[in-house]
């Protein structure tokens, strides 16, 4: 979260004089300035994050592109915020551990056909899934496809910890600069319109 305070007394008085509606507009402008920067950054980052999909021969899920597209900004007289709803996005701030909610294990794709798909998705497409019968490899979920092929589809895990990945967002400095620029432009527009 980026927080900034206004140190200049004249500017602080101006912002207070704006009243709640004016401060809401100012916070909205700041939030949308930040949203524009974060959206551009995440779209660029998303383009280079398909290594696993490509390595497995799968199709990229596009979840980061969707996160960039679905970002929203909110504001009130006290604050503005950019909201990013995407699975695992909390890893920007710290490592996150993912555990299964309804199943006994997480299914980690190890084949292109399984990448970005749940086990149930493959079952609906005609795959029969079963655990490896071999000792020592019981943590592999195999599948027999509609054409009869058998392949290893998923590694089964009790949990997975994703490391922190701060690069999903711009630097703190870049975000602060975007907010400052948006606010400065808004205040300049107010001043210009007042003359």
Q: CA nearest 29: which of 85, 80, 98, 101?
A: 80
State how far the Cα of 90 lies from the Cα of 104, in Å rounded to an integer.
23
Q: Residue 14: left (phi > 0), alpha (psi -120 to 50), or beta?
A: alpha
Torsion of CA 11, 17, 18, 20, to 10 degrees: 120
Please give the mean pLDDT across all residues of the chain: 89
Give the range among 5-14, 35-44, 139-148, 183-192 with minimum mean pLDDT. 5-14
- 150-179 pLDDT per residue, tens: 999 999 999 999 999 999 999 999 999 999
């Amino acid at each position: 979260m980026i927080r900034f305070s206004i140190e200049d007394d004249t500017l602080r008085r101006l912002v207070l004089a704006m009243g709640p509606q004016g401060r809401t507009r100012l916070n909205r402008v700041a939030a949308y300035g930040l949203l524009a920067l974060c959206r551009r950054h995440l779209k660029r980052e998303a383009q280079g994050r398909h290594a696993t999909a490509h390595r497995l021969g799968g199709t990229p899920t596009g979840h980061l592109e969707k996160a960039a597209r679905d970002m929203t900004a909110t504001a009130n007289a006290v604050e503005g915020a950019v909201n990013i709803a995407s699975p695992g996005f909390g890893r920007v701030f710290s490592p996150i551990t993912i555990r299964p909610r309804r199943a006994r294990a997480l299914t980690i794709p190890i084949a292109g056909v399984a990448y970005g798909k749940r086990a149930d998705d493959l079952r609906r497409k005609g795959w029969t899934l079963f655990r490896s019968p071999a000792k020592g490899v019981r943590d592999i979920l195999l599948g027999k496809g509609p054409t009869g092929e058998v392949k290893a589809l998923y590694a089964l895990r009790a949990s997975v910890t994703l490391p922190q990945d701060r690069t999903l967002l711009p630097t703190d400095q870049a975000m602060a600069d975007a907010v400052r620029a948006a606010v400065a432009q808004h205040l300049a527009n107010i001043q210009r319109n007042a003359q």
